[in-house]
Structure 1
């Protein structure tokens, strides 16, 4: 870390701490003594459980809620909170420490595999500012050691919390009454001696003013070291799929068509230049570049964070509270050197052109001007790997008042402000215009550029390692993206009991909120104009929206304490939201519970949720990306005569149509916002039961059937490039909007810059059964605590657009295809902890059910033609051991992936950059962690 970086971090920490201290000092100077309001002994205190804002004594909500305790986080030695959430059966894998490409330098949560933008993240029941223009929260900013518990409610919850809660809500509840000093330290590494993690955090808290106030300060430093894919055998070579002489599928070393020798395609030629300067016909099965080993297996991260929480009782009935969060995360992604590819004129007078190459290319110079048009493709090894360094700074402040009024009603008013600044630096990009400029020479002096501006030097792309330092310095550019995201929220609510019916007290909650989200991304000139190859270019993004909301919830007890109904009640809620962009929208919920006897509770809810488009979806400046898809113009045995003829209309040259090959599985596409987008809507219903048998104390069983359908979902044109190609293939008609988009091709017929702008056209459905078991009992002189969470996925349908087929991805995987990451039908997480005196041992088992290659499951490929049609079920075991040395010190050691289960190798059609699904499966291997906890 440089001195400048250190000063910036210290300034942020000091400014945040000073602001927090000032707020609390103001509170102390104007306050009066408050009496203790804790519940009397034996009385169960009313609490708010995520899924409803109404305080209640029944901790089992009508929405299925999973609670992750502070003990679970401690036992797992968790320093990255997304690792805990990804271990839940209800979540699909998302970007995190081992997802280098694709990845966005953040850690996110994806409930029900409905997308990270459809899961709402809260802290202490209030919104947390997003870390990008899409509004999605980076979980790296959540302080793990300060978490009291995490409550996860799955299913639409917009009536309670507003937009984005379509798949569910994750609410991080922090400790706000800590007293004393606690210091945690730990060190971890893999069995291979790499993938190191260093973490230290402290929590300092105490009461003041005769117990009227409490302040908690938390600080954290985390360093996660880089590990490259080349350090693991399964990831060191990118695999490709082909067939042997008998037609059987086999793995072969694969990779990218962007090779370091320099390849020239067009005008009937497709040749690279070998070490002797001889042009050699390119064969994609023989000459692919292995980009895998220099990609990250584990992304490096450095985190500095501080959080402050304070409460002060101003009067008997009024409490002042405040929160402050500062976090600085620096994460670096690394990719193989830039695979430059661009159409241009190649000058035959280039002094570096080998004679054999010049002789071949000269046959194409029909007009004698010494210029031949080619697509030049070259892996720029001399420029080094592409590095993306993201420096993310987050500031969040909350201040408010809460208290009680008569009849036990609780009220709260608050102001919530958050801001994220991201400075992204990209190294390794190649300037396209300069490359083109450097390929044109001065006829009078071929050692000079025809246009000498920008310090132009004549380039030598003819062979591996031929670019000099001077050439690379002329071509290479460091690009920057600057992003700022702000969120302001003001709210007021009141909740409690209104009056009493024969069945009990009628509970309610009502509130109003105002929120404004604003985001702006400013790329530098090279990125904004698209004049680079390397990382994704993009135009500036700038936009904002605000929303005014009001909501009402109620719980109505109908019967209580009668035969057949120990309790019968209804629950309902409604929220109206007025968006400056989407207009007025309404969400609601209705359901209830029935407890026929004390041991059994039945529950159910029907909910309508909405999600308004975020700033990115509305106002994204045109940017490029590289989705995976297959062009039906490729000349293989399955291509029909009609497809061949139509591909000529699309722009594939007649000289190349026979033998036409797709250069890369990833195709460059253009993405952009749409200010005319409307809201997404979803319907969710769940019905389930909770069983707590009196004959088995300590045992709780739950089961819930759920269904979530998202309509009018925001997706790119055609529902994605793959779906758009499939839709065009069904009609083969240039009047079709999707076929028109596929005319975006280079001169050599390769798809490039295919438009993929946002539309409200997709539909998703998720159905399944959640179940859980919790059992706590004493045996063998100690205590056993068993917890099991599980899910059975029944349906995971996706329809990319109204004209696209409906695909059920339950039990399938397709990292680059339709189904995304693994969608196992069965998934469970079980933890068994045994504690005796000062020692505890805990074993966690994660079960990920088997999945099938989507090409087989969706019928586009025969099983016998697929090398790995099925990925078997995977079992992961994690062991944690703890020993309390004395009342002030405990030590622990953890072994994750105890049996060193290897990540499954997948078929090339579904494999990601690591030949596996790096978000779902463990790619690091067995890991050890050693640490301590000291209290004072």
Structure 2
């Protein structure tokens, strides 16, 4: 594709422009020879057209001849919409439909509440956001992506959006396009705008008041203005969203109703069906306790339940929830769990049920769906006419924002047994999320203890094709596992943004041989600060507090009091002995440090604190925890992030000569210096010498880059009012930059505009662009992160899963071969294909909790390279007044794309190719030391990297092609019907997505995944999406608007894959079905200075397909029917 763009389109554009230039010159010469001068009226009309700078170029020109496709959004559209923020409105535009809105940020670190535009779904870091053509400081640590909530709403005049590369005009990062926010100038008067709007149909709302005031002084030479805004949005939790609380499940692990044998991919029974009102019994707050057991394996001809015998105390295979072995807690008492109507037949551990105990199934995935946010935004500025041709502009803004969100609860597995350590030893801390407890635990209910002591485990022999596994002799196993889910992990972000701009701009009628000179010189300084507080628990303190016993002798003061075992041991053995570090007060976190330091809890300051402050914690059941114990295990990390940006920008433009009567040659030259700086401190200091279930790691030491850039543009009118047509222009742009990180770069652009007649125009462009790695991608330190709910691509059950859009027969074959090679390298062997008549040799890992790992930056990244091509047709037929039609075709290809794949993607990439992907495999570690888990993804306790490493690398490529379409029509009903019924205005704008392919397999660059017309979590990519708006204005004081947002069906599973396994799911579940959201707004001009607006968003309460279950797809508007009311006051 790259060759086709660079050669076919670029060469074609240049040749076409050259031919037109020659013809235009010949035309001018012919006219001169004939002695016929151009008609004066036409010249006068042309001279009256105001030439302006339009986003996409620095050369002033007739806006109808703008060289690149342009989408405009005005202030009225932003204020009258029912969407409660600018980003929520922009995200309804198809070109920006995958933008990051606040509800997309609840699962990410430090980004809660941000609003980041994302053109063409290529990533917010590939969209350049400008304010009046100048840079704006980025919001997230080390990132250049702009939080557009920081741009004052009432000050916005227009938003101009160009799609396609624009780095030669504006610099790096304009890979998929540019958003340029144009602010109001010389505002005189007062304007107040207030809005109350629901953000969820359950009543959560946004409240906003904006005030703008300005005054002209000194005979209108000086304008001073001030803007203030208060904005508060309620948080939306899972429990607030009605359809999520319906508990829809479709295809979740443990809920399938049939498993196909390996020999028959289609056994005629549907594998998964949808369920509603589902609860999850194995994820209850403060947990459930399951006695060691083994589930009877099914016959191989119907392998619903695999053979998962119980062999070691820590094996997840031992703890499948079971109606006769699983206890839940009502206050301090325990009882066998009520499984209600248990659903799902497949798998050993099936913890989903309808009715009975448990929590709503989607509540565990994350509490917050939209962060709670409160913001204050202020901006002041002045414009001063130094002379008739020179203007001085200055502006300053300051913003504060606080937001809060809660994610998944903390999670631990406590293995109840007397095998690992004795009564005189502290419990074993196996990992950040796993520890042992002895059976003398003071909080363990007597009936649970009795059940554990009497527990017998029956393992099973291999099943045959027709017979389930036969039971072996039961053996005594006094083991149980308490799966504890504790306090929620929360985040608060306290953001501050300051930005200062000072600019001089002026004009001259002539400078040397250049006419109509315009120049500007500006300096921008921006600073974004964020204090992020992430709250969770201290893993070591949790384990010590949970290891509670009775102080029968009153060693610590009160006989029979419940105390921490560790404190009792310390008081009973105050003199440290050589054996302490290997048993009594062994410090599993710090053990192995130089000499004996760290072997014993008393060897370090933090160990001493943990020991002396230990407060017993009852982990058995919700509501049984003392506040003192919760305070003891509580932990927080506070990180202060800073982004700084400086930009010094100068540009001059003008007109040269008119050689052949087509118009003056336009020219623009400029230079830019930019500095970006980022820092994040506090993570290391607030972590200290503690083992926290949080994102721990090193501080982000200050890092920066600087760039020095020069740029230029040239526009060459080819002809005007010629026999070849009405007008044509060839233009080009070039930029050279020198970065302190990546060195020298060059980019360019070529544009051609051709208007054969006044009614129609054709525009085409080719642009090369770059994106320089941001500071976070380059220099972020390694910090802890988690791989939650791993889906191991080497698991036999996953290898033999139904085919889907992203899992094909070829990938299945590759996985079998590659997983076999991985296991062989460790001296192990498994039946990954499920080919044998038994499943005892299968590899079916059971990850009881998340796997810890690290993520960080890569200082060796290269810039991304991008080529884009556009071809536009603009039709404004004179025979249909007030009609405009626009078609914009685009192609974008990004190579050397910087991508940070998830641990799940890396695990898949490791084994999905035709051979092992060494780069991906090197980031996934299968070295869990726990017996029976040696091939699991994981690492020993205390390992500095954990089970995986995530980081950014240059290996991906992205390609996208599509067609934007716009139509606008205005109709005066009196002219049409003879009745004064007002005016109708209709517009429709949409996108036909032809291709959206991502290549993220570093071992096989041709291995692409097509996302066009697929449902993607966070925001789908429909093949066709459009928004239509019909406004009726019956009088000067009233208008009524109906807006419809329509999306074509998106594939959940590709039909091509479905035919390989037609019983995998119901036939009507392959796609989402079409989706339409209807909004209605009424605006009433109550007085000359007061207007009121009311309306409803998603009037018919449209919801996403039930086959998407509980995953949140923001493009389907998950928040239901909601109302809004607003008022605007503009005194005369």
Equivalence for 2:654: 496
The one of 714, 721, 725 equivalent to 1:565 is: 725
Q: Structure 2 matches for 1:475-874, cutoff 5 A?
A: 475-502=633-660, 503-525=662-684, 536-542=695-701, 543-623=703-783, 624-626=785-787, 630-636=791-797, 638-639=799-800, 643=819, 646-647=822-823, 660-663=844-847, 668-716=852-900, 719-730=901-912, 736-744=918-926, 746=928, 747=930, 748=933, 750-752=936-938, 753-780=947-974, 781=980, 782-804=982-1004, 805-815=1007-1017, 821-835=1019-1033, 836-854=1035-1053, 862=1061, 864-866=1063-1065, 868-874=1069-1075
* CA-to-aligned-CA distance 1:825-863 (integer Å, 9 cap, x gap): 101112222222211112211112210115667779846
Q: CA 1:829–1:178 in structure 2 vs 1: closer, same or farther (change >3 Å)? A: same
Q: CA deviation at 1:738?
A: 2.7
Q: Secondary structure at the match of 2:381?
A: strand
Q: Distance in 1 between matches of 2:920 and 2:706?
A: 34
Shift of 1:658: 5.1
Give a deviation string over 1:398-425, Cα, whole Å, max 9, x none. Answer: 0011101222110011110001111122
1:923 aligns with 2:1118: yes
3-state SS in 2 of match to 1:850: coil
CA distance change for structure 1 residues 489 and 705 in 2, over 3 Å: closer, same or farther? Answer: same
SS at match of 1:682: strand
Q: Structure 2 residue aligned with 1:266, among 311, 314, 330?
A: 314
Contact 1:680/1:711 (<8 A) preserved = yes
Compute the displacement of 1:637 (Å): 7.4
| Matches for 1:269-288 after TM superposition, within 5 Å | 269-270=318-319, 273-275=327-329, 283-285=350-352
Whether 1:886 aligns to 2:1087 is yes
- Return the offset for 1:189: 3.0
The verdict on how the C-alpha distance between 1:187 and 1:821 changes in structure 2, with shifts beyond 3 A counting, is closer
The CA distance in 2 between the partners of 1:832 and 1:605, in whole Å, is 32
1:395 to 498, 518, 527: 498
Residue 90 of structure 1 deviates from its aligned partner by 0.8
Task: Report if the CA contact (8 A) 2:230-2:376 is conserved.
Answer: yes
Shift of 1:214: 1.3
Query: Does residue 1:229 correspond to 2:427, yes or no?
Result: no
- Matched position secondary structure for 1:235: helix
**Cα distance in 2, alignment partners of residues 400 and 931 from structure 1:** 35
Residue 756 of structure 1 aligns to a residue whose secondary structure is strand
Query: Structure 2 matches for 1:380-391, cutoff 5 A?
Result: 380=486, 383=487, 385-391=488-494
How much has 1:517 moved relative to structure 2? Answer: 0.6
Question: How many positions carry a matched residue from both structures?
Answer: 876
Partner of 2:807: none
CA contact (8 A) 2:439 2:449 kept: no
* Contact residue 240 and residue 254 of structure 1 kept, 8 A: no
The structure-2 alpha-carbon separation of the partners of 1:332 and 1:282, relative to structure 1 and needing over 3 Å to count, comes to same
Partner SS for 1:871 = coil
Judged with a 3 Å threshold, the aligned counterparts in structure 2 of structure 1 residues 795 and 400 are, in CA distance, closer, same or farther, namely same
Q: Say which of 376, 380, 385 aligns to 1:313.
A: 385
Q: CA deviation at 1:447?
A: 3.5
- 1:141-172 deviation digits (Å, cap 9, x = unpaired): 12222210100101111011111110110111
Q: Which has the higher strand share?
A: 1
Deviation at 1:659, TM superposition (A): 7.2
Unaligned runs of 5+ in 2: 1-43, 259-268, 291-312, 321-325, 338-347, 414-432, 458-476, 556-561, 567-600, 602-607, 801-814, 831-838, 939-946, 975-979
Distance 1:321-1:240 versus aligned 2 partners, 3 A rule: same
1:316 CA drift (Å): 2.1
Contact kept, 8 Å, 1:48 with 1:55, in 2: the verdict is yes
Deviation at 1:397, TM superposition (A): 0.6
Structure number with bigger Rg: 2
In 1, are the aligned partners of 2:199 and 2:206 still within 8 Å (CA)?
A: no
Distance 1:694 1:729 in 2: 61
Range 414-423 or range 688-697, more displaced: 688-697
**Which residue number corresponds to residue 627 of structure 2?**
469
Distance, in Å, in 2 between the alignment partners of 1:424 and 1:314 is: 44
Secondary structure at the aligned position of 1:112 is classed as helix
Matching of residues 6-21 of structure 1 within 5 Å? none
Q: 1:284 to 1:512 in 2, by over 3 A?
A: same
Q: Deviations over 1:839-895 (max 9, x none)?
A: 111221111221011566777984642353210111112111111122111111121
Once residues 132 and 159 of structure 2 are traced to their aligned partners in structure 1, the CA distance between those partners, rounded to angstroms, is: 10
Other structure's SS at 2:680 match = strand
For 2:655 and 2:96, the matched residues in 1 are separated by: 35
For residue 87 of structure 1, report the CA deviation from its aligned partner. 0.8
3-state DSSP class of the match of 1:821?
coil
CA distance in 2, matches of 1:183, 1:337: 43
On the 8 A contact 2:53/2:60 being kept in 1, the answer is yes
1:98 Cα deviation after fit: 2.8
The secondary structure found in structure 2 opposite 1:214 is strand
Instruction: Tell me if 1:379 matches 2:485.
Output: yes
By how many angstroms is 1:668 displaced?
Answer: 4.9
- Rounded to whole Å, the distance in 1 between the matches of 2:829 and 2:697 is 29
Q: CA deviation at 1:473?
A: 1.7
What is the match of residue 453 of structure 1? Answer: 609
Q: CA deviation at 1:340?
A: 3.5
Q: What are the Cα deviations for residues 774-828 of structure 1, in whole angstroms up to 9, with x where unaligned?
A: 222311432222222111000000011332421111101232xxxx630101011
Greater CA drift, 532-541 or 195-204:
532-541
CA RMSD of aligned residues (A): 3.4
- CA distances 1:741-764 after superposition (whole Å, capped 9, x unpaired): 332454346535311221100010
- TM-score, normalised with respect to structure 1: 0.87
Give the CA deviation at 1:344.
3.2
TM superposition shift of 1:767: 0.3
Match of 2:596 in 1: none
Work out whether 1:207 is the aligned partner of 2:363.
no
Structure 1 contact 345–373 (Cα < 8 Å) conserved:
no
For residues 495 and 158 of structure 2, what CA distance do their matches in structure 1 show? 26
User: What corresponds to 1:431 in structure 2?
Assistant: 538
Hey, what does 2:344 align to over in structure 1?
Answer: none
Q: CA deviation at 1:79?
A: 4.4
Deviations 1:652-692 (A, max 9, x none): 99999757344479765422101111100000001121111
Structure 1 Cα separation of the partners of residues 623 and 897 of structure 2: 48
> Which residue among 126, 133, 138 is the counterpart of 1:118?
126
Alpha-carbon contact 1:683-1:710 (below 8 Å) kept:
yes
Shifted more, 622-631 versus 926-935: the winner is: 622-631
Correspondence 1:251 to 2:251: no
**Match of 2:406?**
334
Deviation at 1:898, TM superposition (A): 1.9
2:352 equivalent to 1:352: no
Find the aligned partners of 1:449 and 1:648 in 2 and give their Cα distance.
43
Quote how far apart the aligned CAs of 1:591 are.
Answer: 2.0
Between the aligned partners of 2:684 and 2:523, the Cα distance in structure 1 is 37
Task: Establish whether residue 127 from structure 1 lines up as the match of residue 311 from structure 2.
Answer: no
Is the partner of 1:851 in helix, strand or coil?
coil
Gaps of 5+ in 1: 1-38, 364-370, 909-913
Alpha-carbon separation, structure 2, partners of 1:656 and 1:461 = 35
Structure 1 residue 102: Cα displacement: 3.1
- Aligned ranges 1:62-73 → 2 under 5 Å: 62-73=67-78
What is the CA–CA distance in structure 1 between the aligned matches of 2:1073 and 2:479, rounded to whole Å?
Answer: 50
Which residue is 1:61 aligned to? 66
Matched-pair contact (CA < 8 Å) for 1:518–1:545: yes
Aligned with 1:865: secondary structure?
Answer: coil
Structure 1: distance between partners of 2:880 and 2:848 = 60
CA positional deviation for 1:92: 3.0
